[in-house]
Amino acid sequence: MVELTVTPQSSLADRPVQIRVRGLSPSQLVTLRAWLKDEQGECFQSRAFFRADGAGEVDPGLHAALGGSYSGVWPMGLFWFLQPDTLFRRLVKRDVAGSPFRLRLEVLDGLCLGAAPREQPLASCEAERWYVGPGVQRLPVRDGRVRGALFLPP
């Protein structure tokens, strides 16, 4: 049985996470896909192709991506290389304090090049990326023409 994990499952957006796939066949070719929908419903996704090691595992922090949205060893590549399905869209988090981005991760058998895979993933999981830590206060700032926000730690 294939298992995909993200550790920690919930974290601040600037903190690294570890992605691991276990239970693959040795040398199996797989696609790791990450996607999310922003607050306007736009889809952003990234993908990377990997060959499992001799133990049937894939770790983007140790194993080089063979292609896709990026190539080489990038532990956070699936998060950093998210691209919009619609051209000229930017991934922006407007409600930074109220909710996280929920990023869906999937492992697909073989090379998956299409925008939406036609087959069921071998495994999937979800990661939450928060932009404001617990207990942080957001205070709006308005002084003359200056607009902004002050974030105060607990």
Domain ranges of the chain: 3-152
Q: How far is CA 132 from the centre of its chain?
A: 17
Task: Please state the three-class secondary structure of 21-51 as a single string.
Answer: EECCCCCCEEEEEEEEECCCCCEEEEEEEEE
Distance CA 12, CA 137 (A): 15
Give the residue from 68, 31, 35 showing the smallest Cα distance to 50: 31
- From first to last of its 154 residues, the chain has per-residue pLDDT tens of 999 999 999 999 999 999 999 999 999 999 999 999 999 999 999 999 999 999 999 999 999 999 999 999 999 999 999 999 999 999 999 888 889 999 999 999 999 887 676 789 999 999 999 999 999 999 999 999 999 999 999 9
DSSP, collapsed to helix, strand or coil, labels residue 52 as coil
Distance CA 7, CA 29 (A): 23
Q: What value, to the nearest 5°, has the Cα angle with vertex 127 and ends 152 and 32?
A: 140
Q: 3-152 belongs to which CATH class?
A: mainly beta
Looking only at the bridges linking them, the beta strands covering 123-130 and 10-12 are: parallel
